Amino acid sequence: MANYSIIADLGNSIVKLLRKSLCPEPVQAPESILLCPAFEKGDYVVGVHLYDIQEDGDYPRLEMISLGENARRFPPMAVTLFYMLTVNSQSHISSKSVDEQRILGRVMQVLHDSPVFEISHIQPGANASDEVISLSPNFLSFEDKSRLWSSSGSGGTSRLALYYKAAPVLIDSTRVSHTSRVTEIGLNVHGKELKNGLPY
């Protein structure tokens, strides 16, 4: 489990992985691989865009977490993050398409070989035994991609992109239930009339 910054921290971890693996070939400058708002144009070569967050309905319902004898924390929220990765090559038009496809191929290779992110590596305060987050391809139909781009406000023009999902992402709750331990038990044996020596 992780604190509320796990969403931003995971995005930054994906960017760090791509910078380490794609530079200097096929991407020359590490700073040109960025975490960017979805569907917005920017000065980057590889853009990592978080475009949706959904509740993870497949994750088992978690129990309250014990914090000692008198306190329990509410269970974390489980969500799935949806990413889109795009390439904006600065190459000449004659080689731009080939260059972008080479970069996308390398991105796919890197994420296929390193699909798991350990929370203890993403957030320094997390325990080494904490859960991991898996990044896997999210294969959308052509129609779903077209609807995604047409509703984005980007003019309806779709671009070649890679789609991934990250799950489970667990965000700690800050709600704590405090209980007091029972120290006395009172029994009321009065107020009953006896009949043949027995209460009725």
Q: Count CB-CB contacts under 10 A for residue 80.
A: 19
Using pLDDT thresholds of 50, 70 and 90, give the confidence band for residue 7: very high
Q: Please tell me the distance from the alpha carbon of residue 149 to that of residue 83, in angstroms, as a whole number.
A: 13
SS3 53: strand
Q: What does the H/E/C string look like for 99-150?
A: HHHHHHHHHHHHHHHCCEEEHHHHCCCCCCCCCEEEEEECCCCHHHHHHHHH
Q: What is the pLDDT of residue 125?
A: 74
The string of pLDDT tens digits covering residues 79-134 is: 999 999 999 887 777 788 999 999 999 999 999 999 999 998 898 777 666 689 99
Segment 136-191, tens digit of pLDDT? 999 999 999 988 988 876 665 678 899 999 999 998 887 777 776 655 665 665 55
The tokens for 144 are: 């779903």
What number of other Cβ atoms are within 10 A of residue 82's Cβ?
Answer: 19
The structure's pTM equals: 0.81
